[in-house]
Structure 1
Amino acid sequence: MLREPDGEKPADLEVRFAVDIEMRAVDDTARTLQGYAAAFNVKTKIRSWSGEFEEVLEPACFADTLAKQADVRALVEHDYRSLLARTSAGNLVLEEDARGLKFSMNLPDTQLGRDTYENVRVRNYTGMSFGFMPLKMKQDFDERGRLVRVSHQSVDLREITITSMPAYPKTSVAIRSLITRSASLLPGSLDLRLRIAKLRA
């Protein structure tokens, strides 16, 4: 089991929100929640300082994370102090199927665990989100060198979170690491295209 340091900065992660994803309370005694934290092949428009592009998660993009048994955490509202479960403890189980990233978690017998379960049960919490670092992606550009589509083929999943606001955050923050990470994954390519886009704009 690969353990990640507890002090990791959430701000370093890409954050995406799964809208209209199933999540439900299934066992009052064990306080079990089940659902999907991410969906495959769902097109999402993301706005950035360089324009707008489309993003999708390809099937099996979480396979590397699952194969290496990374220590993924389940949180409330991306707050690392509000820890609900983690894969290394065995109370968070993640798997991929044809639809997306499926999860099952047993919440602790704490005030946070009980409150979270009740809020899901009464539909106060209706959304899921996930934090990741991109590892492998396919990028498409238009004739002006602007990024128009990103297909994530492999990502390093660090967290899933229960949220009351399943909508994208401000894009300047949301895609900052994607832009810089893309440049390192594709040396020179994205940097050159961004320069061309600025010159032609």
Structure 2
Amino acid sequence: MAKNEVRSLLSAVELRADGDGRTVSGYAIMFDKPSQDLGGFIEYIDKGALKDVNFDGVYLVYAHDMNQPLARVDAGTLKLKVDDKGLFFKATLPNTTVANDVLENIRVGNIKGMSFAFTTKADTWTFGKNGSPDIRHVTAIDEVFEVTITPLPAYQDTSIAISSRDASKPAYGKRERMRDELAIIRVRKEFM
């Protein structure tokens, strides 16, 4: 059962005037950097987490809206490269209303964030003590669906990660499991 998760981060989105000035680049995923508190836990994407990921079907979209496409790997308008820092992207945006608005908002500094939607293949948890947050290390990502340019680089839709963390705790009861399974169904409907 795939668990779609969405993460957003402040990232150096750059606007480059390559020829027609429609190229944007930056990092959609940064390795070994702590997330903000995601509701009781801090998350890290480990360096080897993207090792076996196939990026052939990845889209670049605006604000996680698949109806707002900006580029695609299989169209040749989106390039993705894993390096020591994370997942670097470079995209040439089309001459559409959405893309023109995104380019202008990047130019004036209104948009500085990146995000990504993914499923986890493997992770580890260290449970915090005395009120400190739990720590999650995503050690293997199964699939990256999209990378997103977003004006709101705050983490969102974290109920799935919370449910996987809580399921590992001994006091995880039937009521909590049902609550989390309903949250998973709601998120899955949103992304499917």
Q: Structure 2: how far apart are the matches of 1:30 and 1:47?
A: 36
Cα distance in 1, alignment partners of residues 124 and 75 from structure 2: 34
Displacement after TM superposition at 1:193 (Å): 5.0
Deviation at 1:116, TM superposition (A): 1.4
Q: Find the aligned partners of 1:87 and 1:96 in 2 and give their Cα distance.
A: 14
Deviations, residues 9-49 of structure 1 (Å, cap 9, x unaligned): xxx63111112x2111102605100111121111124343x
The residue type equivalent to 1:92 in the other structure is L
Q: Does structure 2 retain, via aligned residues, the 8 Å contact 1:30–1:107? A: no
* Structure 1 position 179, deviation (Å): 4.0
Q: 2:84 aligns with which of 98, 114, 127?
A: 98
Query: Partners in 2 of 1:134 and 1:77 — Cα distance?
Result: 21
Q: TM-score, structure 2 length as denominator?
A: 0.77
2:179 pairs with 1:192: no
1:157 matched to 2:144? The reply is: yes
The residue aligned with 1:34 is 25
SS of 2:126's partner is strand
- Tell me how far apart the structure 1 counterparts of residues 17 and 24 of structure 2 sit (CA, whole Å): 8
The whole-number CA distance in structure 1 between the counterparts of 2:21 and 2:80 is: 18
Does the 8 Å contact 2:13/2:27 carry over to 1?
A: yes
1:64 paired residue number = 52
Q: Deviations over 1:72-123 (max 9, x none)?
A: 1111111111010111111111111111110000101212222211221221
Query: Could you state the TM-score of these two structures normalised by the residue count of structure 1?
Result: 0.74
Rounded to whole Å, the distance in 1 between the matches of 2:152 and 2:80 is: 22
> What amino acid maps onto 1:60 in structure 2?
G
Distance in structure 1 (CA, Å) of the matches to 2:170 and 2:162: 12
Partner of 2:13: 23
Q: Is the 8 A contact 1:139 1:147 kept in 2?
A: no
Q: What percentage of aligned pairs have identical amino acids?
A: 30
Q: Check the 8 A contact 1:73/1:83 in 2, yes or no.
A: yes
Does structure 2 conserve the Cα–Cα contact (< 8 Å) formed by 1:23 and 1:127? yes
CA distance in 1, matches of 2:100, 2:38: 37
